[in-house]
Amino acid sequence: MNNGKTLKRVVIGTLCVIVGVAAVFYIGLRSKLKEFSDEVSKIEMNSIDLTGVEDGTYSGEFDFDEMVGAAVDVTVEKGIITAIKIINHKSSGFGKKAEAIVNSVIQKQSLQVDAISGATGSSKIILKAIEKALVQ
């Protein structure tokens, strides 16, 4: 009977430790995401003037930090963005859907497009890489 109580205490103690570690990890992750969101919100997007961009494919890259960044190739023909290829997109996992933003840029011929919901940070980083490709 004593062994049963000891086992129960060990199991409960182990679960408490696991819950505690998970809570600390969660709080740290939320803090890191908030910090990332605050920093990304400071990224300014400049307007692009395609009239001065010669036909060709231009490469641009924007690295926010070692974990988040993007590299793109942007093709321009007769003053129109005809294609955007994402060469590399580093994200924390949530940002993959932001890659759809290239379609909005091509459609509007502008960087002034709405971010992809749930992937605002990666959206802005991809847009900044496009900007860097076109403003050289």
Summarised one tens digit per residue, pLDDT across range 17-69 is: 777 676 665 565 555 555 666 676 778 888 888 888 999 999 999 998 878 89
**What local confidence, expressed as pLDDT, does residue 36 receive?**
61
Domain 50-134, second-level architecture? Alpha-Beta Complex (3.90)
* pTM for the structure as a whole: 0.74
Per-residue pLDDT band for 8 (boundaries 50, 70, 90) equals confident
Handedness of CA 127, 133, 135, 136 (dihedral sign): positive
The Cα angle at residue 116 between residues 79 and 98, in degrees rounded to 5: 75
Write the CA distances from 92 to 32, 64, 78, 125, integer angstroms. 11, 12, 36, 12
Q: Which of 21-35, 64-78, 84-98, 115-129 has the lowest mean pLDDT?
A: 21-35
Q: End-to-end alpha-carbon separation of the chain, Å?
A: 77
